[in-house]
Amino acid sequence: MKWLDLLTVAGATLVSALTVVVLYSLGVRLTAIAGDAEQVTPRWMRSLAYLCFGLCGTAVLFGLYLIIPYFSK
């Protein structure tokens, strides 16, 4: 068995999972901050939150693209 390949896949999986979780958590947090009535500039925070959600969705779709053999032909 090629152990270096196994470690490479494990590392890529860990980094990808952490990226998706951090982007989603940051999006939720920014949405909560933007929804606060006392905030002066919630507009750019809400836009940044939607950007985080979009990047999270893009990362998930890219992962599906890599997994499904039909798309890699």
pLDDT digits (tens, 9 = 90+) for 11-69: 999 999 999 999 999 999 999 888 876 766 678 888 999 999 999 999 999 999 988 98
Q: Which tokens in the block code for residue 25?
A: 């958590």
- Kindly report the pTM of this predicted structure: 0.81
Domain boundaries, the chain: 3-72
> What is the per-residue pLDDT for 37?
65
What is the reported pLDDT for 35? 82
The rounded distance, in Å, linking the Cα atoms of 66 and 68 is 6
What pLDDT, on the 0 to 100 scale, is given for residue 72?
74
